[in-house]
Amino acid sequence: MGKQGQMKVTKENLLQWIENYRWMVETIEEARQPVGKADNNSYIGAKTAMYGIEATLPKASGGTSDPVYTEVQRRVYSLNYRIKEYEQKIAEVQKRIPLVQGDREIEILHRLLNGDSMRAIGKHMGLSSTTIFRAKNSILEQMLK
């Protein structure tokens, strides 16, 4: 990432984002799924006693010394950061999809975004791996214009 959250778009980055597109989308979908009735930021053991003898005991101030809670917080923060990064990469690819011209290139791009391998695309379309490779390079050139 560059200044102020801007992503540097190079041919190599764009190719990587296209190849990783499917699992980035799936990771975002998974992260957005509700976990039971609690949200992703909740922690079951972090409740304060309201009744009984526990309610009279001193309460911790500031942070917590519970290592499980600390680990949950670390994972939530890490996941949120990665999700934002994935969303930026996906948006960058989506913004450039309309730049691709040609039926063959469009079909190859959509199959790449679906996670299909070059071999599977070639077999489905009846094209050689060399033709698929050239089309992929053409797609990247068009998307970088």
| Helical residues (DSSP H) of 8-66, grouped into ranges | 11-32
Whether the pLDDT of residue 36 is over 80: the answer is no
Whether the pLDDT of residue 107 is over 70: the answer is yes
Whether the pLDDT of residue 43 is over 80: the answer is no
Tell if the pTM clears 0.75, that is, is over it.
no
Whether the pLDDT of residue 29 is over 80: the answer is yes
Where is pLDDT greater, at 69 or 48? 69
Q: Classify residue 17 as exposed, middle or buried by CB count within 10 Å of its CB (0-12, 13-18, 19+).
A: buried
Question: Cβ–Cβ contacts within 10 Å for residue 53, how many?
Answer: 7
Whether the pLDDT of residue 130 is over 70: the answer is yes
Q: Considering the chain, what percentage of its residues have pLDDT values greater than 70?
A: 81
Mean pLDDT, rounded, of the chain: 85
